Amino acid sequence: MAAKKNKLQLRNGKKNKKELGLIAATVLMLALLIAGLFYTRTEAYLARHSQATTTVQQPKKVVEGAESTEAAEMTAETTEAPSAPAPAPSTELVWEKQDAPVQLPILMYHAIHVMAPGEEANANLIVDPTTFESHLKALQEAGYYAVSPEEAYKILTENVLPQGKKVVWLTFDDSLWDFYDIAYPLLKQYQMQATNNVITGTVGQEANLSLEEMKEMKENGISLQGHTVTHPPLATIEASLQQSELADSKTYLDSNLNQDTISFAYPSGSYSEETMAIAEQNNYKMALTTNEGLASAADGLLSLNRVRVLPYMTAEMLLQTIATP
């Protein structure tokens, strides 16, 4: 009887050891699985946030009368855009009527990134982020207020200025990816409003802004205005095509961003009297050219001058260029 009892205890002991072994093996497998998932997620995070060089495709654009041709590729170091925006100034502006006609500096930027090898053809369109930040810092320290399109329209039509402030309108053409990744965080940091002129046919492409990014920026001081659907040189195409480019662009922005798009930038600065008439028919209140100089109502609201910002332009040069009497 005792022998039988000992045999039963031995069998139960072996059974318990077997069960313990199975439990240990299960725990080990779960640990390995969790470690594998953590490693995979870490690798993905590092890949996404690394400072690797990324090549993106840009639509080819013919520039009429410009100093350079916008090429098909834009290559740059990407940076992560902060998720939390800096609060915009809450001070309400007091507008003052001016005796002399107001001149409004409208800055024209395109790409903001470190120029990569092979981008030499685009050199005049690419401003280094460090240089761009120096522009914002200088403008802020000099007492400039960056206006919205609606405020620019008020300034030009009513000949007014905000009390105690100089004004500048920051515009960026082509809705490029680096505006969200690089320019937008800096604009928030310096609490500057800005306008991006969107090629609506490129929205969501790898090299360009997405609709989600545009919606986010619209809530944080960035205006999205018109720049056609496909970026054609408008003066060289027939009126019906011009009409569809201007109308369809406005319809897209108005419907998707719940706004009234009032401003438009001529692709490559190409426009004619016919183009201006079509812009007016489509309820654009202002149109921006690539003609060099300060903007004024006397030049016509549908043919406003801009100041092209070149990559070698220092902060001091910029302030001298936009200084008004």
pTM for the whole structure: 0.74
Is the per-residue pLDDT at 138 higher than 60? yes
Tell me which of 51-55, 100-104, 140-144 is least confident.
Answer: 51-55
Residue tagged 């009497």 (tokens): 325
Tell me which of 57-71, 239-253, 273-287, 303-317 is least confident.
Answer: 57-71
Q: Return the pLDDT at 131.
A: 98
pLDDT, one tens digit per residue, over 147-196 is 999 999 999 999 999 999 999 999 999 999 999 999 999 999 999 999 99
Largest CA distance in the chain: 119
CB neighbour class for 163 (10 Å; exposed up to 12, middle 13-18, buried from 19)? exposed
pLDDT, one tens digit per residue, over 239-248 is 999 999 999 9
Is the per-residue pLDDT at 124 higher than 80? yes
- Say how far apart CA 278 and CA 253 lie, in whole Å: 18
Tell me which of 12-16, 36-40, 106-110 is least confident.
Answer: 36-40
For the chain, domains (ranges, CATH) are: 51-322 (3.20.20.370)
